[in-house]
Amino acid sequence: MKKKIFALARVRVMLKASMAVAVAMAPALVLAAPSTTLNDVSIDSGDGGVRITLETSAPAKSSFFTLNKPHRVVIDFRDTTLAKGTRMPSGIGAVNAIRTGPRPNDGLRVVIELKSSASSRGEWRPAFADVGDRFVVAIGSKAFVAAAFATGSTGAQMASATAPATAPAVAPEVTTPKTVRPQHAPIDGNRDIVVAVDAGHGGQDPGAIGRNGTMEKNVVLAIARALASRIDSEPGMRAYLVRDDDFFVVLRDRMVRARNAKADIFVSVHADAIRDRSITGASVYVISERGASSEAARWLAERENAADLMGGVKLDDKDKSLASVLLDLSQTANISASMTAAERVLLSLDASVNVRKSKVQQAPLLVLKSPDIPSMLVETAYISNPGEESRLKSISHQTRLAEAIFSGVRGYFEVSPPPGTRFAQIRRSQLAGVLASPASP
């Protein structure tokens, strides 16, 4: 009994000691938080270039580098966060846009998107009136960049040789409408829209084969790669290739891969075949109600192992009736979004290539059965037709098809952007501009 009492006393002492250590460590944990904030970003143009000023609460370790295709200037700050309410200015001159994003280990990345290649340089400069610090970026001609960081030059001198050197130029304050957002709505962000591009067939599955031996798996992979390249060149969009080489992916795994990539839309690329070799033209498919119903039954039957719906809605902790309602709502909205996006792609294809079916088709295709990711299947042409088989092997035709599909997808997201994306920011700005513009007399 004495041993038990002694052991219990030791446990109590150890618990008290652990709590004391935790309390002692609390200040250190607070100090470990990011120590620098980016408080303001301004941009102005001068003779031959553009200057961007990043005002921070204190100096921070940073790295400066450039990227191509598209052209970008990137600054990574260590232990830095974006101050609440800080917004990026619109681009001017050589600058198309400025955006920010978090980095691992409490870092912050600032990306300056350029309209074309230009000389650039960035470094820390003393702040005016000894308030905070400034990381200044100069972009433009070599002469402009060199003059920007000449010994003794100030921010005002960089913008204009005639401006006073003792204080920065004061720009008029611009008031923009504030967006009122419900507490449950997604927070502002500028993430890329992710497009899952799925090249049909692959590996041991060649797909349809044309009269001259052209394999569907090869031409659709070429089109998918061209589409992904076009998507990646568009600011605010990023492609994910479900297969990027000649290998086979089972149909359900294609949906899983798109989900794991957090895709905002799924586009499957195919080239159809039919016995009548005179048939030509492209067509676009989305899931049918029957296909959606069968997938819903599968999800409800396997909901213990099913992934969460996009947006974090779980099914495995809901009773069957509620889970069925939630899944039905998700699928209904998803089919509507799929149809809207597919209609835009079909219109874009119709303006560029021959289209066989003027309306979006619906079918219970397994690859389109994701209940919460808008999905479409594009039959780019009939490989069974000798003329279309020949065109499908043409790089220029592959590029034309990819551009048409991309144009439709981008058009859909310009009108219906996912929350938290750069497209959503642009859409809000456009709507705010329309609301703020004076009425016609």
pLDDT at 129 over 70: no
Query: Right CATH number for 36-159 from 2.60.40.3500, 2.60.120.330, 3.40.50.10210, 3.40.50.2300?
Result: 2.60.40.3500
pTM, entire model: 0.54
pLDDT at 391 over 90: yes
Chain segment 13-28, per-residue pLDDT in tens:
443 444 443 334 434 3
**Spatial contact of 64 and 75, defined as CB atoms under 8 Å apart:** yes
193-419 under CATH 3.90.1200.10, yes or no: no
**Spatial contact of 45 and 88, defined as CB atoms under 8 Å apart:** no
**For a pLDDT cut of 70, what percent of the chain falls above it?**
70
Tokens of 428: 């809000």
d(CA 177, CA 87): 13
For residue 70, is the peptide bond before it cis, meaning its omega torsion is within 30 degrees of 0? Answer: yes
Chain segment 187-234, per-residue pLDDT in tens:
457 899 999 999 999 999 999 999 999 999 999 999 999 999 999 999
* Sign of the torsion angle spanned by Cα atoms 88, 89, 91, 94: negative
**Residue 30: band (very low, low, confident or very high) from pLDDT cuts 50, 70, 90:** very low
pLDDT at 10 over 60: no
**Residue 175: band (very low, low, confident or very high) from pLDDT cuts 50, 70, 90:** very low
Strand order, beta sheet including 72-77: 62-67, 72-77, 107-114, 95-103
Q: What is the mean pLDDT of the chain?
A: 76
The residue extents of the domains of the chain are: 36-159, 193-419
pLDDT at 394 over 80: yes
> What pLDDT is stored for residue 403 in this prediction?
95
Question: Partners of 175 in the beta sheet?
Answer: none
Chain segment 409-424, per-residue pLDDT in tens:
999 999 889 988 989 8
Chain segment 275-323, per-residue pLDDT in tens:
888 889 999 999 876 655 555 455 444 444 454 555 545 555 555 555 5
pLDDT at 181 over 50: no
d(CA 317, CA 144): 61
d(CA 357, CA 417): 27
**Spatial contact of 81 and 37, defined as CB atoms under 8 Å apart:** yes
> What pLDDT is stored for residue 219 in this prediction?
96
* Sign of the torsion angle spanned by Cα atoms 169, 175, 181, 185: negative
